[in-house]
């Protein structure tokens, strides 16, 4: 796409060039008595060149031929030499800067041909030298316009790239915020819904169920409100809140307790606490959110009675730090999710795993059974993460 050169205001250019050409030519004609005296037609041709520059944005294809025609007519009628070439020179620069490359070079070639033909016809031994000098100036003017065009395009391209980066950052921030809101709201509301359903179902038969159900609802709603306030505080620039620390893996037992209060039997296996503490915050947050969303889906959709959460550090790093990868596995004995379209929660888990260089897989445990169960497994590589850099690519396909 061609970009028009955006320079000084057109009216200012036209007025300045007209004043310079008229005043300069009047003074120059006084010292050239052998040329035709400036008359009304001469002044019209002098002003026609600057006037053609007013077309640089509305009709750039007309600007350069009009300027060349007015200058050519002025010289052909024998008027005095002067700064009459200024409008033509600017027309070459502006036309090339506007991206009219072929037209600009064509007019420059035509003008050069006229100069060479006039020099050859004059018989002056220095005329060809002057024609060569004029042709060189024509090329310089066109190249100046090309340089302005290239610089303008580079500036515009850098601006587009900067805007694209800013837009990508805004999109990534928006998606991250949407994932956080979904995880917090879905998890807490699921627990509240389950406990409220239990209380309503068993309340008349077993009133003792009311108190633990209300306590679970109170705790879930309190945690949910606290996290939502932090998320909303990020959106309010007029009243920013101190950002909450990212959730870490030492809070996973609390997720298991929440699921147990919802009636799910949850077993939890996790590595040594000291080893887990060395993991980067980004890895711990991603693993925590994956466990949170997986347990939420088990409670809400699977109809499962049991679930097993296993966190494991596999391999041993040469420096004795945690292993090469962290695996997060959540198994349940529910109805499974084969053939069910993935929702926002599963998409969020995939994005969280990918953000730390890992992968997520979902599959039934026992496809032959009526209740095949379901496995959610995330593999997060740690090589390079502990040093604060992205993980190095490995030969195997994850």
Closest by CA position to 54, among listed 96, 100, 17: 17
* DSSP letters spanning 58-99: T-HHHHHHHHHHHHHHHHHTTBPPSTTHHHHHHHHHHHHHTT
Closest by CA position to 282, among listed 371, 389, 360, 374: 389
Domain spans of the chain?
Answer: 10-162, 264-398
Q: Identify the pLDDT of residue 287.
A: 93
Q: Identify the pLDDT of residue 231.
A: 64
Identify the CATH number of the domain defined by range 264-398: 3.30.565.10
Per-residue pLDDT of the chain (398 residues; tens, 9 = 90+): 444 445 568 888 889 989 998 898 888 888 888 888 888 998 898 898 889 888 888 888 889 889 899 888 888 888 888 888 898 889 999 888 888 888 888 888 888 888 888 777 777 777 778 888 888 888 898 899 889 889 988 998 999 999 988 888 888 777 777 777 767 666 666 667 666 766 666 666 666 666 766 776 777 677 677 767 766 666 665 444 455 577 889 889 988 888 887 778 999 998 887 888 889 989 998 999 899 889 888 887 788 889 999 999 887 554 555 568 999 999 998 887 766 777 778 888 898 899 899 999 999 888 777 778 899 999 999 875 544 444 433 433 33
Reduced to 3 states (helix: H, G, I; strand: E, B; else coil), residue 331 is strand
Q: Identify the pLDDT of residue 199.
A: 65
Enumerate residues 6+ apart whose C-beta is below 8 A from 169.
Answer: none
Q: Give the max Cα distance, the chain.
A: 122
Q: How many CA atoms lie within 13 A of 342 on its CB side?
A: 15
Check: CB of residue 44 under 8 Å from CB of residue 52. Answer: no
């Amino acid at each position: 796409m061609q970009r028009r050169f955006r320079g000084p205001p057109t009216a200012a250019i036209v007025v300045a060039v007209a004043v310079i050409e008229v005043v300069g030519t009047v003074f120059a004609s006084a010292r050239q008595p052998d040329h035709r005296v400036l008359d009304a037609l001469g002044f019209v041709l002098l002003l026609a060149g600057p006037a053609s520059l007013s077309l640089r944005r509305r009709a750039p294809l007309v600007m350069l031929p009009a300027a060349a025609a007015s200058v050519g007519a002025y010289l052909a009628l024998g008027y005095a030499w002067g700064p009459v070439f200024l409008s033509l020179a600017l027309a070459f620069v502006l036309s090339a800067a506007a991206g009219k490359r072929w037209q600009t070079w064509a007019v420059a070639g035509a003008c050069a041909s006229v100069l060479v033909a006039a020099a050859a016809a004059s018989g002056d031994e220095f005329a060809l030298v002057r024609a060569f000098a004029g042709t060189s100036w024509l090329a310089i003017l066109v190249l100046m316009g090309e340089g302005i065009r290239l610089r303008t395009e580079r500036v515009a391209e850098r601006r587009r790239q900067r805007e694209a980066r800013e837009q990508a950052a805004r999109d990534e921030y928006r998606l991250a915020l949407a994932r956080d809101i979904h995880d917090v709201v879905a998890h807490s509301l699921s627990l509240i819904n389950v406990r409220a359903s239990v209380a309503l179902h068993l309340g008349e038969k077993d009133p003792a169920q009311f108190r633990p159900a209300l306590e679970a609802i109170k705790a879930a709603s309190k945690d949910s409100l606290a996290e939502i306030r932090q998320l909303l505080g990020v959106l309010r620039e007029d009243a920013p809140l101190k950002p909450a620390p990212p959730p870490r893996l030492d809070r996973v037992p609390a997720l298991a307790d929440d699921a147990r209060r919802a009636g799910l039997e949850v077993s939890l296996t996790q590595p040594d606490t000291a080893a887990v503490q060395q993991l980067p915050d980004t890895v711990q947050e991603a693993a925590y959110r994956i466990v949170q969303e997986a347990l939420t889906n088990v409670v809400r959709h699977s109809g499962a009675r049991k679930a097993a959460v296993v966190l494991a550090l596999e391999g041993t790093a040469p420096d004795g730090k945690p292993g090469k990868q962290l695996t997060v596995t959540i198994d349940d004995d529910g109805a499974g999710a084969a053939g069910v379209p993935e929702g926002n929660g599963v998409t969020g888990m995939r994005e969280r795993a990918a953000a730390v260089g890992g992968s997520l897989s979902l599959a039934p445990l026992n496809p032959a059974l009526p209740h095949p169960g379901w496995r959610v497994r995330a593999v997060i590589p740690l090589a390079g993460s502990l040093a604060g850099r992205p993980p190095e690519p490995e030969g195997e396909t994850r």
